[in-house]
Chain A
Amino acid sequence: MSGSVVGWLRSAWRRLVAVVVRALDPLAIDHLTVARLSVAFGAFAGLWGTTDAMALRAEALTPGMGVWPAATYDAFFTTHGVTMLFFFATPVAFGLTTAVLPRLVGVEELAFPRIHALAFWLLPPGLFVARAPSLLDLLADVGLLGFRVRPPVVGWTLYPPMSLQPHAGIDLLLVGLSLGTLSTLLTALVVVVTVVTERTVPWARLDVFTWTMLVAAGLVVFSFPVLESAIALLLADRVLGTTFLAPPEGPMVFVNLFWFFGHPEVYVLVLPAMGVLSYLIPRFAGRDLFGKRSVVYSTLAIGVLSFGVWGHHLFASGVDPRVQASFMAVTLAVALPSAIKTFAWTTTLWNGSLRLEPPMLFCLGAVAWFVVGGVTGVLLASIPVDYAYHGTYYVVAHFHFLLVGTIVFGLVAGGYYWFPLLTGRRVDDRYARAHFWLSMVGVAVTFGALLALGLGGLPRRMATYPEVFAPMQTLATLGAFVLGVAQLLFVWGIVRALLVGDPAGDDPWGLAERGIEAREWSR
């Protein structure tokens, strides 16, 4: 026994050195290396964003001022939102995509591999610059720094006039964010060009994941430049003294620009998860995707319609009712393609011979939370409901059911599924399953409790609240902490697989032996 433990430690150490040396080669431009880096970086950012979330929930545990001052709470939700959206979700989604895309579309390498690598290397400075204010503040707190940069408290939406205040922290946040935006834009261009011009697989035989990611990348190409410009205008106002976004009209200009980006961004985030679901559910249900054509068309429909819904984020800001009504109609319309997909997934499951491997478990969880998040969202599309619940925890709960329940679950499903492709190993099922069940419980308790708080009318973005909400808040925190420790298990499963996992082989999910075609596993 002791010999095997020493052997275990020795081989773990060798693997660790090998993994680090291979991963940190900045000159490597092959798609798999860069993809590995993106996924690893995204996961790191995701954990960092999770610690922000834990800090938020720790504060909300008690009604009065708890462990942090109010400004720190505001700083945490700002870094949380920015980190999760720009440095976790998109890098992981596109990292997984660029890892498998060449095999799925039948090419050796991505188009523009150098641009792809450059795009990745913009991310780490982006994240650290965006989060620098909090880090510097911490250093000042412990006396290692003689000056203070207050962390920005503007939220991920960056609305002026708040974001126009003279405050070096906001400058850093904006610069970091623009690096992140540029990175995503470049990666999306690489994906679009690879699929459209390099592809050797005919359109008709293109798999549904590639279709979905093509649309997501297309959305990035059209929407991220708008965000980049809005950030540039903000920076110009701040640094060069221009007044593009200054009151009285400026803020509304920004809000429109922001949500013209912001709503497609929602689909940029959710489409990769949808793509994973459409791709994996048939593989583990032993059936073809039901209505693949309608799934692809619905994806294209989302691509178009998502540019027509930005106004629904402005319902509560006094837009002309006729304009509001049209936005409401489009918003309800954009729910249709999502419903089509849900229908296709559930129908594919019907009478399938389900194999509840970890990726499939996460897919099923994602579908379930998608229904919850979707239903709570469609209710918000109705203007009267929006008036009532806008700015409450209802909204926070709604978008976390989607962001965590669907998007994180979907990406994790893809992560487990393609892990053998990225690393040659498989994560031990025991950890993956435990990770799944803890995450399910965590999401249900946390965001269920936040939904109840929202229905009770509790405003979001507040560090303190009336005592009656305290029990529900405590429940939410307990759930969130369970969700948090579940992610530690996730990390441990991965670290363990990297260090001492068994080789995954050529058919890690037993698809070939069941006669299921999966291009990424056939060399």
Chain B
Amino acid sequence: MSRSAAVETARSTAERVAPHLPPERVVVTRAFDCALGAAAWFVPALLLVVGTPLPIVGLFGGLWLALVRPEHYVRLLRALGLDSPFARRALGVAGVTLWTLGPVAGPPTGTPVWLWFSVGLLGVAPYGGVGDRPDAITVVLGRVFGPVLALLALTPVLAAGGLVAGVQVAFAVTAALGVLALVLGVPLDETPTVSPSMSAFVEWAERLPPAERRLLLADTWARTGLAVVGPLFVAFSIQRLGDGFAEGAEVIALSLVVATVAAGGTHRVLSRIRELGSWTTPLLSVGGLLVATTAPLAVVLVPASPPAFAGTFAAVGVAQGGWTVLEDEVTDTLGEHRDTYRAARALLLIPPAVVGGLLFAVAPRTAFVLSSVLAGVGTVSYLRRVAR
């Protein structure tokens, strides 16, 4: 690269980064997000290890699925006067702090550990999940870099301390980073309020042509399938890999790295694939749905070896591309009813998650098979839409 080209690159990068400065704030906020995201994968597994009854783990997963979208919270938070970005992050930090304290404070105080985690979730969830805001690091290094780094950092801690101690350490570090991020100031990011209106939505849905209705059904069935085992996916994988939960967490952390990289790679090429023609959209969606159908079965059936699990997770990572395309299709169809649909869908997913937890308690494999079946129904529904 010639000198002037290098200067040019530096200048254009600087231009894109400038609105996100100061750098320390970006780095710390991003580190907090990524650390939280990495450790959060292991929460259900941790709950299982400390002896939480399985249905409650399922309920916890359902609660999580329902709460994790920040827009569901905005109205409540606004009513409580807690909707400033600062308050939201402070709630997130408080939530992680409770998660850190839970496993050790639960037993001596006689309160169940899951209660600490559920209350903590009320703080973590409105924070709004991980890395969905573009920032200077996304501009320079992409979305994948941070989560992968966080997972890689978590791996040796899990290997050394096992699941509980390892995740505890990760939470404590996350909480400290969160406090630092609070002190450094929080950039303004406005989350729009939504005003879901169920009756208008139902009225609209009744007039939908069959093809569109099948699309929504496909989406709902597939997500229901994922909800049945979603919260337990990582936990079950760890259980299968190790003897009980003693080992395996670090292998799954690395498998998540593979999945994240695969998802990042897929997203990079997604727009180019979509440009190839209108036929790519259904193809991608079907691909995503097929993985949603087969992945739960795979977790049950593949040999309990690290490469097999890494492969399964990689497939799930690639499938993210398909799910994004499906979600875009759904959004296009819904128009102004988008938010109502999402809010309703989030509530709808709680029961399957609880059922999944209950089933997992009696017959874990059955839960995964059920998940596959539900996603399969979704796939068929989608295929019927494209076959017309």
The B169-183 residues at the A interface (CB cut-off 8 A) are: 169, 172-173, 175-177, 179-180, 183
| Structural contact, A68 and B160, CB atoms closer than 8 A | yes
B209 CB within 8 Å of chain A? no
The A438-495 residues at the B interface (CB cut-off 8 A) are: 438, 441, 467-468, 470-471, 473-475, 477-478, 481-482, 484-486, 488-489, 492
| Structural contact, A488 and B100, CB atoms closer than 8 A | no
| Structural contact, B165 and A6, CB atoms closer than 8 A | no
| Structural contact, B180 and A438, CB atoms closer than 8 A | yes
Q: Which residues of A contact B281 (CB under 8 A)?
A: none
The A14-64 residues at the B interface (CB cut-off 8 A) are: 58, 61-64
Q: A62-B161, A67-B157 are in contact. Are A492 and B177 (CB under 8 A)?
A: no
B14-22, B71-79, B138-146, B355-363 - the one binding chain A: B14-22
A 416-440 binary contact with B (CB < 8 Å = 1; else 0): 0000000000000000001001100
| Structural contact, B179 and A485, CB atoms closer than 8 A | yes
Q: How distant is the Cα of A61 from the Cα of B101 in the complex, in angstroms? A: 9
List 8 A-B pairs, minimum CB-CB distance, nearest first. A481-B176, A470-B104, A67-B161, A5-B14, A2-B15, A66-B165, A471-B105, A485-B180
Q: Which residues of A contact B176 (CB under 8 A)?
A: 478, 481-482, 484-485
Q: How distant is the Cα of A67 from the Cα of B158 in the complex, in angstroms? A: 8
| Structural contact, A62 and B10, CB atoms closer than 8 A | no
Q: Which residues of B contact A482 (CB under 8 A)?
A: 175-176, 179-180
The residue that A492 contacts in the complex, of B24, B97, B165, B179, with Cβ under 8 A, is B24
A144 CB within 8 Å of chain B? no
B 27-65 binary contact with A (CB < 8 Å = 1; else 0): 000000000000000000000000000000000000000
A1 CB within 8 Å of chain B? yes
Give 29 A-B contacts (CB < 8 Å), ordered by A residue. A1-B18, A2-B11, A2-B14, A2-B15, A2-B18, A5-B14, A9-B14, A61-B100, A61-B104, A61-B169, A61-B172, A64-B165, A66-B169, A67-B157, A67-B161, A434-B183, A438-B179, A438-B180, A467-B104, A471-B108, A473-B104, A474-B101, A477-B172, A478-B172, A478-B175, A478-B176, A485-B179, A489-B180, A489-B184
Shortest beta-carbon distance from B169 to chain A in Å: 5
| Structural contact, B18 and A5, CB atoms closer than 8 A | yes
The B298-322 residues at the A interface (CB cut-off 8 A) are: none
Shortest beta-carbon distance from B13 to chain A in Å: 9
Shortest beta-carbon distance from B293 to chain A in Å: 39
Interface residues of B (CB under 8 A from A): 7, 10-12, 14-15, 17-18, 21, 24, 97, 100-101, 103-105, 107-109, 157, 160-161, 164-166, 168-169, 172-173, 175-177, 179-180, 183-184
Q: How distant is the Cα of A437 from the Cα of B184 in the complex, in angstroms? A: 12
| Structural contact, A468 and B180, CB atoms closer than 8 A | no
Q: How distant is the Cα of A467 from the Cα of B104 in the complex, in angstroms? A: 8
A248 CB within 8 Å of chain B? no
Pair count A-B, CB < 8 A: 102
A3 CB within 8 Å of chain B? yes
Shortest beta-carbon distance from A108 to chain B in Å: 40
Shortest beta-carbon distance from A273 to chain B in Å: 24
Q: A438-B179, A492-B24 are in contact. Are A58 and B172 (CB under 8 A)?
A: yes
Q: Which residues of B contact A475 (CB under 8 A)?
A: 101
| Structural contact, B165 and A438, CB atoms closer than 8 A | no
Q: How distant is the Cα of A434 from the Cα of B184 in the complex, in angstroms? A: 8
Shortest beta-carbon distance from A366 to chain B in Å: 20
Shortest beta-carbon distance from A245 to chain B in Å: 36
Given contacts A67-B169, A482-B176, A485-B180, 20 further A-B contacts (CB under 8 A): A1-B14, A1-B18, A2-B12, A9-B10, A9-B14, A58-B172, A61-B104, A61-B169, A61-B172, A441-B179, A467-B104, A470-B107, A471-B101, A474-B104, A474-B168, A475-B101, A482-B179, A485-B179, A486-B180, A492-B24
Interface residues of A (CB under 8 A from B): 1-3, 5-6, 9, 58, 61-64, 66-68, 434, 437-438, 441, 467-468, 470-471, 473-475, 477-478, 481-482, 484-486, 488-489, 492
Q: How distant is the Cα of A471 from the Cα of B183 in the complex, in angstroms? A: 25
Q: How distant is the Cα of A203 from the Cα of B103 in the complex, in angstroms? A: 61
Q: Which residues of A contact B107 (CB under 8 A)?
A: 467, 470
Q: Which residues of A contact B24 (CB under 8 A)?
A: 489, 492
Q: How distant is the Cα of A66 from the Cα of B104 in the complex, in angstroms? A: 13
The residue that B169 contacts in the complex, of A2, A5, A58, with Cβ under 8 A, is A58
Q: Which residues of A contact B166 (CB under 8 A)?
A: 67
Shortest beta-carbon distance from A1 to chain B in Å: 5
Shortest beta-carbon distance from A5 to chain B in Å: 4
Q: How distant is the Cα of A482 from the Cα of B24 in the complex, in angstroms? A: 16
Q: Which residues of B contact A470 (CB under 8 A)?
A: 104-105, 107-108
Q: Which residues of B contact A62 (CB under 8 A)?
A: 103-104, 161, 164-165, 168
In the complex, which residue of chain A has the Cβ closest to the Cβ of B28?
A: A485
Of B108, B109, B166, most buried by chain A (CB within 10 Å of CB) is B108
Q: Which residues of A contact B103 (CB under 8 A)?
A: 62
| Structural contact, B160 and A474, CB atoms closer than 8 A | no
Q: How distant is the Cα of A61 from the Cα of B107 in the complex, in angstroms? A: 15
Q: How distant is the Cα of A63 from the Cα of B107 in the complex, in angstroms? A: 12
Q: How distant is the Cα of A164 from the Cα of B178 in the complex, in angstroms? A: 45
Q: How distant is the Cα of A482 from the Cα of B172 in the complex, in angstroms? A: 9
| Structural contact, A474 and B172, CB atoms closer than 8 A | yes
| Structural contact, B173 and A481, CB atoms closer than 8 A | yes
Shortest beta-carbon distance from B109 to chain A in Å: 7
Q: How distant is the Cα of A479 from the Cα of B105 in the complex, in angstroms? A: 16
Q: How distant is the Cα of A478 from the Cα of B15 in the complex, in angstroms? A: 38
Q: Which residues of B contact A477 (CB under 8 A)?
A: 172
Q: Which residues of A contact B180 (CB under 8 A)?
A: 438, 482, 485-486, 488-489
